[in-house]
Amino acid sequence: MNRIDAALDPVLIADAYARPVYRDDRHDVRVGDVIELLQAAGMRVFIVGGAPRDWLVGQPGNDIDLCVDAAADDALLRLREAYPAIDGVRMHNQRFGVLRWGDEASGGVDINMLRSWKDIRNDDMWTTTFVPRADLVEDAQMRDFSVNAFYYDCRDNALLDPLGCGIDDVQAKTLRLITHH
C-alpha cells in the first residue's frame, strides 16, 4: 500500500467536503456531513477515483465519490436515520453495492462499498452479489485505470495508491488498465 506524501492543497479537500449533496428549505447536507455520519457509524470512508487524482495536479475534484467498508444498504440506513424527511435516493443497486444519494440540482454523492473481484461468479460481474470488503488493493482491481484508483482516507487524511502505479501514471499522463481479468 503506497501512501502518497505529495502535498495536497488543503483548500481543494475542504472544498470537496463543503460540496452540497442535498438542499431544500430545511436542509443543507454536504459531502463532509455524509462522511462524518458514516464515520460515526463505524465505517471507514474514502474519497475515491477522479477527485484525489485531480487534487494531485492542483485541480478541484468535480466528482466526489465515496467508498465504505460496509454495505451500501448500511450507509443508506444511516442517512435515513439522520435525515428522515429526505427522500434522497437517486439510484440504488444492492447487488453491486452502489448508492447515489442527494438531490438532482446538487448532484448528490455516490457511495460504493469496497468490493473484490473474488466475489465474481461465472465470470459475470453484473449478476454477482458482492459483499462488503476492506481490502483497498482488491477494490482497486475492480476499477478501470490506475489514475482512477486513488483513495483519500477521510479518517487519516492520507492519500493512498494501493497498486503503487497511479502516481507515476498521473505524472506521465498514461492510462494503465488495472481491472482484474
pLDDT computed for residue 126 by the predictor: 78
Residue among 25, 130, 113, 18 at smallest CA distance from 74 = 113
- Beta 45-48 vs 65-68: how paired, if at all? antiparallel
pLDDT computed for residue 79 by the predictor: 98
Asked if residue 167 lies in contact with residue 149, where contact means CB atoms within 8 angstroms, the answer is no
Residue among 118, 114, 151, 117 at smallest CA distance from 133 = 114
Per-residue pLDDT of the chain (181 residues; tens, 9 = 90+): 688 867 789 999 999 999 999 999 999 999 999 999 999 999 999 999 889 999 999 999 888 999 999 999 999 999 999 999 999 999 999 989 999 999 999 989 999 999 998 998 888 877 888 999 999 999 999 888 888 889 999 999 999 999 988 888 888 888 887 877 7
